[in-house]
């Protein structure tokens, strides 16, 4: 012990001597150096320290929102930047934002999106629980931007008893009898569209062309009218603005995307109001031939308000002009890359005697074609137009040992589920045979969900897609200008390019 103390004392004396040996000039240089370093480093270090402190406070604040009565921890993940969370990452990265986090965290993780602490999930069992907990621990909740752009009085925005009542009223526009009437009209519109594409005899851009088809179909089925060229241009441009700014921060300041989208909604609403004023068919005829007529009857009976009718039309219009181009482009791509599927479809149509020019391809005829059903199911699986859905947690529950706290937002992923090898063997392959023998699969989540929140127009969408596929195979052949076109997934699945395609009349090739 004495030896150790002696050694320490000797070292201390040596350091003191070294400092004393420094000249006053050397001490002055040392002090000046330290002063200069402090002067320049302090302004640099202070913001970094403050930023790290702000991040820590942001993380602490969001973690404090967990349910302390639950013994389960929050899922792994990151809350991103203070106040904006990971919203900017999502906007700029698109689907890669979700892909990176899925690979890093697995079936569920926490984040902060569009102003809300959020848990994103995928996996068949997890998604099934989301549907089971509907109205028990969860309720529908779209981001503020979506709710204000599409409409606050839509069916998807309604909750509880209001949702049940409104859904029952609007379902009358989607009975089998009504859909049969719609498909008679859409057959002519779609057949004419295909014929026009074939007549071009040159490369067409499928994305804008399928959008035109979607608007024509939507105008006929939703509004019961044929839109003028002026209305068509206005609707397309304004709906595109709404789509582009759907998932954004709801800051209504001139120049922001949200402000532009709200202005575009007003333009769309003015066109719909003008059409409603001119529409007299629901008064003059006993039978409703379009969705607007069905809703106006409910309005006249006092069951729906004018605002609910207007928002209902915008909601259906919005879904249609987003979903139809996505499904049509995916159909063109996957069938072109799988000619054996096209040939098998052609043979099925031939055996059913539906290749004749006067043969009708309505819902009643198409539902009798099993292979056609397998094809449109596989299209929806491999190319789901919409990525998932939003819910608000009303009561804390558990998933995979983690808590999902009340007050948080849940986003469930459809595409992740459809693309998981654990759910579908060789998931990247377009294989209609996986649906043979009318096979169903609980991992398949069509039309945004199942149960009481399933898409009210799901049967109509299935009928339209089956009709589109059948008419394509019956009347045309086509080639992709790009062998393997890339798709963007956000906000809806569409080819990154305009999808150049060449169409030919099938009969002109003696096929």
Whole-structure pTM value: 0.83
In the chain, count of helices (H) and strands (E)? 19, 12
Please name the residues in contact with 313: beta carbons below 8 A apart, sequence gap of 6 or more: 222, 223, 272, 291, 292, 295
Domain residues of the chain, as ranges?
147-202+319-509
Q: pLDDT at position 433, please?
A: 94
Q: pLDDT at position 393, please?
A: 96
Report residue 445: phi and psi, to 5°: -120, 80
Q: pLDDT at position 438, please?
A: 62
Average pLDDT, consecutive stretches of 10 residues, N- to C-terminus, the chain (511 residues): 44 46 63 68 73 88 94 96 90 84 92 93 92 89 88 87 88 90 93 94 93 90 79 84 86 93 94 80 60 87 89 89 94 97 96 90 89 96 90 95 96 89 90 82 81 87 96 96 89 91 76 47
Q: pLDDT at position 2, please?
A: 42
Exposure string (b/e) for 341-354, b if CB count within 10 Å is 16 or more?
bbebbbebbeebeb
CATH fold for the domain made of 147-202+319-509:
Cytochrome p450 (1.10.630)
Q: pLDDT at position 26, please?
A: 64
- Residue 119, H or E segment: strand 116-121
Q: pLDDT at position 434, please?
A: 92
* Strand 476-480 with 108-113, pairing: unpaired
Tokens 């402000």 sit on residue: 259
Q: pLDDT at position 293, please?
A: 86
Q: Which residues pair with 500 in a beta bridge?
A: 205
Q: pLDDT at position 244, please?
A: 85
Q: pLDDT at position 321, please?
A: 87
């Amino acid at each position: 012990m004495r030896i150790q103390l002696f050694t320490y004392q000797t070292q201390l004396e040596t350091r003191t001597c070294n400092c004393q040996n420094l000249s006053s000039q050397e001490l002055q240089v040392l002090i000046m150096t330290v002063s200069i370093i402090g002067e320049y480093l302090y302004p640099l270090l202070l913001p970094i320290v403050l930023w790290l402190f702000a991040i820590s406070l942001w993380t602490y604040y969001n973690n404090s929102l967990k349910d302390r009565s639950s013994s389960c921890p929050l899922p792994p993940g990151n809350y991103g930047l203070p106040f904006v969370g990971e919203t900017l990452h999502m906007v700029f990265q698109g689907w890669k934002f979700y892909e990176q986090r899925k690979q890093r965290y697995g079936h569920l993780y926490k984040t902060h999106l569009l102003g809300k602490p959020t848990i994103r999930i995928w996996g068949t069992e997890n998604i099934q629980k989301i549907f089971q907990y509907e109205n028990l621990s969860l309720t529908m909740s779209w981001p503020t931007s979506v709710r204000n752009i599409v409409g606050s009085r839509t069916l998807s925005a309604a909750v509880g008893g209001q949702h049940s009542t409104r859904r029952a009223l609007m379902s009358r526009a989607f009975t089998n009898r009504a859909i049969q009437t719609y498909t008679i009209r859409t057959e002519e519109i779609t057949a004419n569209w295909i014929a026009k594409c074939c007549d071009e005899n040159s490369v067409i851009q499928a994305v804008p062309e399928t959008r035109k088809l979607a608007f024509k179909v939507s105008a006929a089925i939703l509004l019961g009218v044929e839109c003028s060229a002026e209305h068509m241009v206005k609707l397309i441009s304004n709906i595109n603005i709404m789509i582009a700014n759907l998932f954004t921060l709801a800051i209504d300041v001139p120049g922001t995307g949200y402000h532009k989208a709200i202005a575009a909604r007003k333009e769309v609403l003015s066109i719909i109001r003008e059409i409603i004023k001119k529409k007299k068919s629901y008064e003059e005829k006993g039978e409703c031939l379009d969705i607007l007529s069905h809703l106006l009857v409910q309005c006249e009976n006092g069951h729906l308000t004018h605002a609910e009718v207007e928002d209902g039309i915008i909601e259906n219009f919005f879904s249609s002009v987003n979903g139809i181009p996505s499904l049509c482009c995916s159909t063109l791509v996957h069938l072109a890359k799988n000619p054996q599927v096209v040939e098998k479809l052609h043979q099925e149509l031939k055996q059913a005697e539906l290749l004749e020019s006067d043969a009708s391809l309505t819902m009643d005829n198409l539902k009798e074609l099993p292979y056609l059903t397998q094809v449109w199911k596989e299209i929806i699986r491999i190319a789901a137009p919409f990525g998932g859905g939003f819910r608000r947690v009303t009561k804390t529950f558990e998933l995979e040992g983690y808590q999902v706290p009340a007050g948080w937002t849940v986003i469930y992923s459809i595409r992740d589920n459809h693309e998981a090898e654990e759910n579908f063997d060789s998931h990247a392959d377009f294989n209609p045979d996986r649906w043979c023998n009318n096979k169903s699969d609980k991992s398949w989540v069509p039309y945004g969900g199942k149960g009481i929140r399933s898409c009210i127009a799901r049967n109509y969408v299935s009928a339209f897609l089956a009709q589109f596929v059948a008419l394509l195979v019956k009347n045309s052949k086509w080639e992709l200008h790009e062998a393997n076109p890339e798709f963007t997934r956000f906000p809806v699945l569409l080819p990154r390019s305009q999808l150049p395609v060449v169409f030919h009349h099938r009969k002109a090739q003696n096929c």
